[in-house]
Structure 1
């Protein structure tokens, strides 16, 4: 496969957490023929004004006229990196096509170098895609986990481009498992995620106006996991830039908790005793339930212990509380409680210095959204347990007096990594079709004023076969 000039294969060797390992998404609710054909725009014409599009503030950019902006064409043309979105969608997901237009790749000024895409070795990379047939809208996204700017290409970009939206995404300013090295003080790396998405949104709105000779009629922000956190933060802090957003199982950061640091250490402490069996197993299971991991999700715990819990705790704790393990960087993998100084299985957020909570406070959420927001979250999420995350955020929104701007859908049998649906088709359902239903519901809310269904748990349809669950998700049932 040909990559963009200078693209480095080494980027595929650095894949992350909170979205690494196969966040497979379920098959798309592809739009109808009518919805997939936006009305012709006055600026129509293949790659019109290619020479005039300039990303404000970019230190470098390269624009290309492409016959296909979706992954049906960008894989072969080298305008995506399959390693960046590998595992985020099921292998049988249909790929829309027939979306010619302009793609702009580049980066904003930055001092960190974790993103090796294109051989640039430069962070704050972005991609902007401008379809020839435009529906008047713009979708912007940040990436899940610590992935790079192409991570959402299959799960989000392909579908919204096929509906006529312009699309822009950012790598959030730092990538990879050592993202916490970016910045000069605790919390800097995550704080940069927010500023980079704000920066990209402003720039992308200008680029849209350059290409189509008018600004976007609506701007929607969306993303999964860490990308969902960005949606929440943007609508709380910069609602003037957006018309609304869809938050797909966003990470919750609160200085007082709950957060990763209040439930993951419990999993690290108690799961080994459960796995070992014996007289301590029942008590260990009870402790995991008490920490927020839902009853009925036990079949997912071994995988998450092996892949997510330990690594997630260590690298994010290093970002906000590097002094916990002294000179050791990001802790000791899979240490038993009390076995080494600074073992993350012993971590107790409530006893850490005030400076740690101050670092988390810099990126904390408040619930004070300023534009319509839809959140969806699976009830069997065992990386960000729903009771410790979106249930709490929904309460925060209500307590902030913003409930009229909010809809919350708890998706029965959904989990954090949709790839696991392929392994457990009789126990899990994918969230991606629900994301597309939520996005469509938001469109109606913004364009016609039709309010989405009330907050609810979206039941798994009884007797629905896996193929049906891969293509449908009704929010009103």
Structure 2
């Protein structure tokens, strides 16, 4: 449930705005609150079926955890325990949802998908950051990793649950691929709506709009900059998922790992070990494999297979993507990436990623970007989408980085968190897209620093 700390602002229609929300708990207001939130009650989220706005003393998790305007379970495990975040950012938060028929997201007792959160800081820097949740999480999943930090810099922030969430997201939609295709639609929908909300709140459209995301959220950044570049000025993609109809994709590397790991775990079989390496996982990351076998590999392959190949009835480890009917590749093609980005983007990926192996995901995506840029630059001048996309793409490979930063706390001597490098990349993107743009450091493989605060600092140069 959302609990109001100062003023709860009604939405249209008024009869729906406060239903299911504790409108009385802790309600107070002062003249300062009223001044801060002047005209906020007139803000409307275009296309929203429901919205509830609150004027808050602190939009960061330092305040929203206590006030009930976030859900810590949404972002659990995504950051290292020592992550330092700013606080004390007053402003307006709008929670709501767009029309949808699925009901996986039970947040606030709404039982309605396509939920979003929009945060509007009192001191605005003219920018907007939009994100989609990683994995199958909900709209608050980026609150620690992205929202807190960009709000303190003065950005408005918007995040979506992608239109469906949870381990049974595949039950949404009518045909294979519908649920994932909706993720892209909902991100586009929220970006357009958030731009309009920003214009209402501050009197002008955002000067800069950036997309940022992790894992499936990184996939969304890639898709948006390939397909909706007019909405953004750039993006930061951390370990985005790569879908390609002819592979590699998680249906080509997870089944071999599921077949090989039991033998490797029980006997140390060199052949099984080599099979896991051949699937794309990095030598040196073996200490992570048991955890990923227990938590990620089987479940991940199963739920995405239910989404894209629901007719398969065999065992997870026996799945053979290339032996499946052609309709499966058609479903994957609906959500696939091309590498044809049309706005500046920085990608980060850890070499010890033991869920989405770097060689089968971001290494290949970087090659795709360069290939598209090279193809467009041959004799076509500087037409739309042509001028050497590689000149506005950077790729940083982080040695010993894993897929989720929460595991750093268990292995501080072996891993490095990605989050500080993601923040460094965002800062580089700001400079890159400024009027007198300063190009980021060249793409590189960044060694794990031998000393220093790995949790909170990162240099994008070797």
TM-score (norm 2): 0.89
Specify the alignment match of 1:451 in structure 2.
439
1:57-456 equivalence runs, <5 A: 57-277=47-267, 281-325=269-313, 342-401=314-373, 402-447=389-434, 448-456=436-444
> Per-residue displacement from partner, 1:27-68 (whole Å, max 9, x unpaired)?
xxxxxxxxxxxxxxxxx9512320221000000001111111
- Secondary structure (helix, strand or coil) at the match of 1:322 reads coil
CA distance in 2, matches of 1:295, 1:94: 31
1:454-465 equivalence runs, <5 A: 454-462=442-450, 464-465=451-452
Query: C-alpha displacement at 1:97, in angstroms?
Result: 1.5
Q: Contact conserved, 1:104 with 1:129, CA < 8 A, in 2?
A: yes
Q: Contact conserved, 1:3 with 1:80, CA < 8 A, in 2?
A: no
> Per-residue displacement from partner, 1:299-358 (whole Å, max 9, x unpaired)?
111110000000000000110000011xxxxxxxxxxxxxxxx00101111111110000
Q: Contact conserved, 2:160 with 2:187, CA < 8 A, in 1?
A: yes
- Secondary structure (helix, strand or coil) at the match of 1:223 reads strand
Specify the alignment match of 2:455 in structure 1.
470
Relative to 1, partners in 2 of residues 1:426 and 1:7: Cα closer, same or farther, differing over 3 Å? Answer: farther
Q: Contact conserved, 1:67 with 1:100, CA < 8 A, in 2?
A: yes
- Secondary structure (helix, strand or coil) at the match of 1:265 reads helix
Relative to 1, partners in 2 of residues 1:2 and 1:321: Cα closer, same or farther, differing over 3 Å? Answer: closer
CA distance in 1, matches of 2:430, 2:237: 14
Q: Contact conserved, 1:3 with 1:118, CA < 8 A, in 2?
A: no
> Per-residue displacement from partner, 1:240-259 (whole Å, max 9, x unpaired)?
00000000000001111111
Query: C-alpha displacement at 1:472, in angstroms?
Result: 1.2
- Secondary structure (helix, strand or coil) at the match of 2:311 reads helix
Q: Contact conserved, 1:3 with 1:81, CA < 8 A, in 2?
A: no
Q: Contact conserved, 1:380 with 1:413, CA < 8 A, in 2?
A: yes
Query: C-alpha displacement at 1:7, in angstroms?
Result: 7.1
Structure 1: gaps (5+ residues): 9-43, 326-341
CA distance in 1, matches of 2:427, 2:70: 26
CA distance in 1, matches of 2:391, 2:345: 10
Q: Highest relative contact order (Cα 8 Å, sep 6+), 1 or 2?
A: 1
Q: Contact conserved, 1:7 with 1:116, CA < 8 A, in 2?
A: no
Structure 2: gaps (5+ residues): 5-17, 23-33, 374-388
- Secondary structure (helix, strand or coil) at the match of 2:236 reads strand
Q: Say how many residue pairs are matched.
A: 421
Relative to 1, partners in 2 of residues 1:347 and 1:7: Cα closer, same or farther, differing over 3 Å? Answer: farther
